[in-house]
Structure 1
Amino acid sequence: MGGEANRVKLGLPTDWKPDKQADQPVYLQIVAYIKEKIASGDWPVYRSLPPQRAMAEAWGINRSTLITALDELKAEGLIESVVGSGTVVSNNTWSLLSSGEPPDWPSYVRLGEHPSNTETVQDINRFESDPAIIRLGTGELSPRLLPYRETEDILAALRGKLSNLGYSEPKGWLPLREAVSAYLKTRGIEASPGQILVVSGALQALQLVSQGILRQGSGILLERPSYLYSLSVFQSARMRLLGVSMDEQGIRPEALARQKQLREAALLYTIPSFHNPTGILMSAERRRQVMAICERERLPILEDDAYGELWLDEPGPPPLKALDQKGLVLYAGSLSKTLSPGLRIGWIVGPEPVIERLADVKMQTDYGASALSQIAAKEWLEHDRYLRHLAMIRASLRERRAIACQALERWFFDLAEWQVPQGGFYIWLRLKRATSARSLFSRALAKGILLNPGYIYDHTDARHLRISYSYAAEEELEEALFVLSQLLRDSL
């Protein structure tokens, strides 16, 4: 009893000892115990700790083990040695009490559900922000083509007229959906505002579809190559991407029918107008064939029409949605490729029950698109300024296409093959001889040129490059193509 009373007098526990059989080392158990005593206030600041000999005897441990524990606490700033007082509590700050080994964040990153981009795509995303780099593959309008002044005028005209900067209703701001509905009629699409969901772009439309109406493990048919192979939006939702071959008119109907019969598929994702990355324009006849197959197989279609208005020689055939008589097609449109990627406004059109479901999912993820962006987009679409802007963009892209094609004819006539695109942003350049595409990417980057190699759109492709004439300045476009031709000649 005398020993127990002495321990109580010294402030040592009568019912606690370190567990020498536990996985945690004894000295760490002592560190945790003393931290708990300090945190609870039992051992306040300036309180002297019991003598080391008494603690070691009470806990049945070697003094060397105790000293290791106390040194750890001293290193964390919780105790200190004071002449004449022994060891005292010096701090009870919570930030120190909770200090210790940081979380193993790398393991969290490795265990995350969303797959990482490939190394090349991560490099592209990283170097696109470098102003010294010539972006030869970027699928955006050049900063020189963005309508800064017109957008400023629109925003300035809103002075005194803003009535709502809060959250909009789930489907998006009604006046914008009404403007989109009116605009879609010029594309041959009849859609009421209730059949339209405002999204931040075509990519969000894909995410909502994969999360909202498809089951995990569903098969997604799509052109091969395809922009989607460079993303993880469907893979992160456990979808299976099932490639369908193409020809110069677009997705091949017999291959589509065969794929549907051989594998259970939930959806066809297609970019029929100025396809990304090949630039192919699906012919009117081919569109009718694809629609007939999907109607027969009851296979829904997700049509990505981000480039449909960017025809350069003559308008392309109407969208698949304009041919849809059975509510088969979900139609995704966007202002990112035609007006401004920074506006972050697009839409998805479909049967109202589907749109209601996607709107509900969207509200769970971002609570609606930017109110200010929706107001600006409505002002663009309600007046003929958008059609005038499109005419200017087409004229500029026509000139840029000519520059790119002339440079290719001059420096790539014996290195590659290509088709002159009828619209969109891209030339799908096929190298006549295979080379190490990753090595070419790295060597071009060392020269200040950022490429989009074909293998990011089809991992088996070592022969193609996606050449964009939409982004780089005209003089940089010529320079980059010349340097690229020299790199190819060096490698061959």
Structure 2
Amino acid sequence: MSWQPDRLLHLSLAAQIKDWMIRQIQSGEWPAGTKLPPQRKLALSLGVNRSTLQEAVDELKADGLLSSRTGSATFVANDSWHLLVKQRLPNWQQYIEASIHKSNDQTIQLINEFEQDASVIRLGTGELSPSLLPVNEIQASLGSLPLDGKTLGYSSPQGSETLRQAICDYVKKRGITTTPENICVVSGGLQALQLIALGLLQPGSLVLQHEYSYLNSVRPFQSFGMNLHGLSADQYTAEHIRKVRGRRQAILYTIPTLHNPTGECMTWEDKNALYQLCAAERLPVIEDDVYFELSFEPAAPAMKSLDRSGQVIYIGSVSKTLSPGLRIGWVIASAPVIQRISDIKMQMDYGSSALSQLVVEHWLRTGLYENHVRRLRAELQSRAELMEILLKQYFESKASWESPQGGFYIWLRFHEPVITKELFMRLLKKKVLIHPGYIYGAQDAHHLRLSFAYGSEKELRKGMEMLYREI
């Protein structure tokens, strides 16, 4: 044996001996079952004290690579090679558990998984049916777009200036007057929330919201250390907000028009009152307005239309109307906010798809978008009427609901607490996917978010019948 530990290295002699023994096992020089030389002889050949050798041997025994038998002889353990292979692999579960983003609730993970299964009836999906998307019209419009090398390259992190100007013109019907400098194009409303969380809020901040909220089913704030706090209808008061806020940084998240998941719509008076409350309390507001175009009756102007001080951060999107796959939305806010989230967006993805932005600009400027939305509203209203017929047929004595004012959803409340994980799993086994209330409000066992926007008439009829049989 010619190898000996190097006394000039920073590693201890015992650590060097341990590494050398591991190499002997890995290389096959010491296969499983090999009997090591007596410790006195081995220590002498390595040029170390027996106690130094014993330290290395004891560590390898603790790792399961060496074992002792009767008479104090030491052997290479039978499963030593497999243990070494395992030790060489990164402990990915440890990495995962220590990461910033926490895992979704298991129900949400299952929803995300089974929404990809075409054989599943989706009774709660927050997405338009493929049959409602203007596939042929979008394909036809691609031929008239002025494509060039720049179009196929990276976009500005803030977004195409011509699209931002088109958005300025479009949001005037919401009562919003803005400029391209006050707009950032984002990859959908969810990215807008992530950018706000990353760029504007500190860990420990408080995000106030409706007691039942879409935010509870995604993690744009929670994963970055912010705390969510749900407000019931009677808690939107200065006194309650001051009490729960304390000295913490806080922001209010609201979907005033066609709220997700409840479908509620604030009146103009309600929006004005909420804005004045937040202004008095110096509480910034995120107004998520991605559903307003789907209101069956003209929607009240946006809360952002009241804003003269930059207090409201406004989010719009075409994901709920034109195409979720285009991944185009926008944020309208004060210049410092836009500059900040544009910088964060550049660090994340170098800007939204330039091609998608060109498509959306074309649809906004030519009137294609408004014509499509008009037809879409009519189709959704017809589907909503069908869903109400089915609800009256199956659940009139068991549950209550409000007739939808637009959008995708009916927030169904059962008189008894029947919406459980067990029910979710039973239906899933029968290929029916529901969105239970407990993913929007902790411990809720009374509600379902029903969607009439995705399933076909046949699927809605079959799905509602199976829901009735399982409850």
TM-score (norm 1): 0.81
Q: In structure 2, do the counterparts of structure 1 residues 34 and 409 end up closer, same or farther at CA, with 3 Å as the change threshold?
A: closer
Deviation at 1:392, TM superposition (A): 1.1
* 1:255 aligned to which of 227, 231, 236: 236
* 1:358 and 2:341 are equivalent in the alignment: yes
Matches within 5 A, 1:362-441: 362-435=345-418, 437-441=420-424
Deviation at 1:160, TM superposition (A): 5.4
1:442 corresponding residue in structure 2: 425
* 1:245 and 2:232 are equivalent in the alignment: yes
Instruction: State the one-letter code of the partner of 2:351.
Output: G
Deviation at 1:224, TM superposition (A): 0.8
Q: Distance in 1 between matches of 2:16 and 2:400?
A: 68
Deviation at 1:29, TM superposition (A): 3.4
* 1:12 and 2:3 are equivalent in the alignment: yes
Q: 1:207-237 CA deviation, whole Å, 9 max, x = no partner?
A: 1111111111111111111111112211112
1:216 corresponding residue in structure 2: 203
> Residue 243 of structure 1: SS of its match in structure 2?
strand
Q: Distance in 1 between matches of 2:170 and 2:5?
A: 80
Structural RMSD (CA) = 3.1
Deviation at 1:436, TM superposition (A): 5.0
CA contact (8 A) 1:226 1:458 kept: yes
Deviation at 1:156, TM superposition (A): 2.2
CA contact (8 A) 1:177 1:196 kept: yes
* 2:258 aligned to which of 247, 268, 274: 274
Instruction: State the one-letter code of the partner of 1:261.
Output: R
Deviation at 1:109, TM superposition (A): 1.3
1:3 corresponding residue in structure 2: none
Q: Distance in 2 between matches of 1:371 and 1:391?
A: 26
The runs of 5 or more residues in structure 1 that have no matched partner are 1-9, 39-51, 77-96, 247-251
Instruction: State the one-letter code of the partner of 1:125.
Output: N
1:319 corresponding residue in structure 2: 302
Q: Distance in 2 between matches of 1:14 and 1:148?
A: 71
Q: In structure 2, do the counterparts of structure 1 residues 33 and 16 end up closer, same or farther at CA, with 3 Å as the change threshold?
A: farther
Which stretch shifts more, 438-447 or 154-163? 154-163
Deviation at 1:401, TM superposition (A): 0.2
% identical equivalent positions: 42
2:321 corresponding residue in structure 1: 338
The runs of 5 or more residues in structure 2 that have no matched partner are 30-36, 48-52, 58-65, 68-72
Matches within 5 A, 1:438-477: 438-477=421-460
Matches within 5 A, 1:77-116: 101-116=88-103
Deviation at 1:259, TM superposition (A): 2.6
Higher gyration radius (CA)? 1
CA contact (8 A) 1:216 1:238 kept: yes
* 1:31 and 2:18 are equivalent in the alignment: no
1:298 corresponding residue in structure 2: 282
CA contact (8 A) 1:138 1:471 kept: yes
Aligned length: 436
Instruction: State the one-letter code of the partner of 2:182.
Output: Q
Q: In structure 2, do the counterparts of structure 1 residues 280 and 160 end up closer, same or farther at CA, with 3 Å as the change threshold?
A: closer
Instruction: State the one-letter code of the partner of 1:458.
Output: G
> Residue 330 of structure 2: SS of its match in structure 1?
strand
Deviation at 1:288, TM superposition (A): 1.1
> Residue 236 of structure 2: SS of its match in structure 1?
helix
Deviation at 1:263, TM superposition (A): 2.4
Deviation at 1:187, TM superposition (A): 1.9
> Residue 186 of structure 1: SS of its match in structure 2?
helix
1:200 corresponding residue in structure 2: 187
Q: 1:290-346 CA deviation, whole Å, 9 max, x = no partner?
A: 01111111211100001011012x111011011222221110001100111100000
> Residue 428 of structure 1: SS of its match in structure 2?
strand
* 1:482 and 2:465 are equivalent in the alignment: yes
Q: Distance in 1 between matches of 2:353 and 2:433?
A: 31
1:131 corresponding residue in structure 2: 118
Q: Distance in 1 between matches of 2:463 and 2:239?
A: 41
1:79 corresponding residue in structure 2: none
Q: Distance in 1 between matches of 2:14 and 2:380?
A: 68
Q: In structure 2, do the counterparts of structure 1 residues 22 and 486 end up closer, same or farther at CA, with 3 Å as the change threshold?
A: farther
1:148 corresponding residue in structure 2: 135
Q: In structure 2, do the counterparts of structure 1 residues 33 and 199 end up closer, same or farther at CA, with 3 Å as the change threshold?
A: same
Instruction: State the one-letter code of the partner of 1:336.
Output: S
Q: Distance in 2 between matches of 1:16 and 1:107?
A: 35
Q: Distance in 2 between matches of 1:231 and 1:218?
A: 17
Q: Distance in 2 between matches of 1:226 and 1:305?
A: 14
Deviation at 1:59, TM superposition (A): 2.3
Q: In structure 2, do the counterparts of structure 1 residues 261 and 399 end up closer, same or farther at CA, with 3 Å as the change threshold?
A: same
CA contact (8 A) 2:145 2:359 kept: no
> Residue 111 of structure 2: SS of its match in structure 1?
helix
Q: Distance in 2 between matches of 1:385 and 1:118?
A: 39
Q: In structure 2, do the counterparts of structure 1 residues 300 and 208 end up closer, same or farther at CA, with 3 Å as the change threshold?
A: same
Q: Distance in 1 between matches of 2:385 and 2:6?
A: 86
TM-score (norm 2): 0.85
Instruction: State the one-letter code of the partner of 2:287.
Output: E
Q: Distance in 1 between matches of 2:147 and 2:207?
A: 48
CA contact (8 A) 2:419 2:436 kept: no
Q: Distance in 2 between matches of 1:381 and 1:437?
A: 43
Deviation at 1:429, TM superposition (A): 0.3
Q: Distance in 2 between matches of 1:364 and 1:147?
A: 33
Q: 1:67-89 CA deviation, whole Å, 9 max, x = no partner?
A: 9679999x79xxxxxxxxxxxxx
Deviation at 1:162, TM superposition (A): 5.6
Instruction: State the one-letter code of the partner of 2:210.
Output: E
